[in-house]
Structure 1
Amino acid sequence: MTTRIAFGPLASFTQWVTDTYPEFSMPGHRVSLFRRQVWDPSVGQWFEKEMMLPVAGGNPLLLVPNEWVRSGLLMSAKRFYKTKVLVFVQQTKAAYLPDRKLHIPTKKELRAYPNLHGTHKTNIRVTLQALDAGDDLVSNFQDHVNKKWNMRHSSKAA
């Protein structure tokens, strides 16, 4: 669904690249006219649009701008587990020892607990526990990811 919504901008980008770089019109390469549905966010509806796109294996090829991709997902269950779930559990398991030193279990120690393996069930269970305690791990994670994304793009602009 996301690709279908972004199809129009991706097709426009692809057309710009094929117009800008002659490699796409060299022998052995083919560009053809396609008619596809694209989403118009300004009016909130789908419409048909004709576009010239490169062909690969008989199918239209969409190119994706380098800035739109990265080697890993910004938001994944594994990353959520490592950055929010385990930190929440660390806070709940923190305790003062008899010598009055605060002991916070390491993430490595927590991963050894039988009920804290990095599974979707663990993420859901701990997220619900955190919500009951007034801590919205999902919103915190989204904020965390947005900050990382904004830092990445502001450093490129500098």
Structure 2
Amino acid sequence: MASICTYYNIIPTSPTPFADLDVHTDTPQFLDPYAIRLLGTSTPHAAKAINCLDTFLEELVLTALSSDPAVQARGAALPAFPEPRQTRLGLSARGINGHGGAEVIRRRIWDAMSTDLRPLLHVGVLRHLEELGFYIKDVGDDITSDITTRIIFQALVDFTQEMLALYPEFTANGHKTATVSCRMWNDHTRQWEMKSVTLPVANDAPLLLVPSGWVTRHPLMRYGRFFEVTMLGYIQDLHTQYTPEGKPLQTPKDLLVPRGLASRDKREALRKTLEAYESGRDLLAEHRRFVTAKGVPPQVDLLA
């Protein structure tokens, strides 16, 4: 095991702007799109990354809601995400390839967007790409991280170029760069395109650097957090009774599932989200406010 700093003999006097990941194997951390949103423009290249995420989702929603077969065909091809190997992030056995290939994930996302999720898209409550994992089977932390990497690839390339200029160690002592062809989202044309980019090479493979603040051990918008905090909170409210004196009697959250009052099934989460919206509650907006208030946790040693 060797971190990026160890591999390139970088001796930082302060924390590096890039996440100091293992160059030999994937680190069980995740590129977190909501952390990027919260850090915002104070983080280099965040504005580009956020615009890529948002334009991609806008295009996906637009095509999913279209009744034009040609537009739908274009949309069906959008969520094609070959697993990005350049960042050294994620869970190798559970990434896109580990779930049976990029084609399986592409089909699963498009099928959900063009069928079950259409009611959410119509009312406009699903606003961020990272919220897809609340409702689509097998789209969890690892898949969301991989998808995010592919969509914001241009921002990560720009950041890597900046780090190459800032740290001469990346091209010293026999270390080299390589020109590779990569697929990335163009947020202006709103299309995928192939571009040749120059990346450092580590352990005989191209290396894409990631801003340290964009990496979390537990993604902020993970399904478990949404279910346990916001969804169970809503269901708890539904089953709250009151004494004659007006005192609320609530079923503890940890008893809602065992008593059959709640289900972790993502299809049920979708049904409850729509039910809540029809009664005047936007659970996704509530959860965004909760996560935003909690903020991004302090950075920890990524290799610990």
TM-score (norm 1): 0.75
Aligned in 2, Cα 1:119/1:48: closer, same or farther, shift over 3 Å? closer
Q: Could you tell me which residue of structure 2 aligns to residue 90 of structure 1?
A: 236
Q: Would you say 1:138 and 2:284 are equivalent positions?
A: yes
Give the letter for the 1:130 counterpart.
A
Q: Would you say 1:63 and 2:209 are equivalent positions?
A: yes
User: Contact (CA 8 Å) 2:161, 2:199: kept in 1 or not?
Assistant: yes
Q: Could you tell me which residue of structure 2 aligns to residue 18 of structure 1?
A: 164
Stretch deviating more after TM superposition (136-145 or 60-69): 136-145
User: Contact (CA 8 Å) 1:38, 1:47: kept in 2 or not?
Assistant: yes
| Matched length | 152
SS at match of 1:139: helix
SS at match of 1:34: strand
Q: How much does 1:115 deviate?
A: 4.3
User: Contact (CA 8 Å) 2:151, 2:185: kept in 1 or not?
Assistant: yes
Give the letter for the 2:278 counterpart.
D
SS at match of 2:152: helix
List alignment gaps of at least 5 residues for structure 2: 1-80, 82-147, 299-304
Q: Would you say 1:29 and 2:175 are equivalent positions?
A: yes
Aligned in 2, Cα 1:98/1:41: closer, same or farther, shift over 3 Å? closer
Structure 1 distance, partners of 2:294, 2:189, is: 32
Give the letter for the 1:112 counterpart.
P
Report percent identity of matched pairs.
34
Mapping 1:2-13, distance limit 5 Å: 2-13=148-159
User: Contact (CA 8 Å) 1:77, 1:123: kept in 2 or not?
Assistant: no
Determine which of 209, 218, 242 is the counterpart of 1:72.
Answer: 218
Structure 2 distance, partners of 1:72, 1:124, is: 22
User: Contact (CA 8 Å) 1:25, 1:31: kept in 2 or not?
Assistant: yes
Structure 1 distance, partners of 2:188, 2:267, is: 39
User: Contact (CA 8 Å) 1:24, 1:54: kept in 2 or not?
Assistant: yes
Aligned in 2, Cα 1:142/1:29: closer, same or farther, shift over 3 Å? same
User: Contact (CA 8 Å) 2:235, 2:262: kept in 1 or not?
Assistant: no
Aligned in 2, Cα 1:44/1:58: closer, same or farther, shift over 3 Å? same
Q: Could you tell me which residue of structure 2 aligns to residue 53 of structure 1?
A: 199
TM-score (norm 2): 0.43
- RMSD between superposed Cα atoms in Å: 2.9
Q: Would you say 1:116 and 2:262 are equivalent positions?
A: yes
SS at match of 2:216: coil
List alignment gaps of at least 5 residues for structure 1: none
Q: How much does 1:107 deviate?
A: 0.9
Q: Could you tell me which residue of structure 2 aligns to residue 41 of structure 1?
A: 187
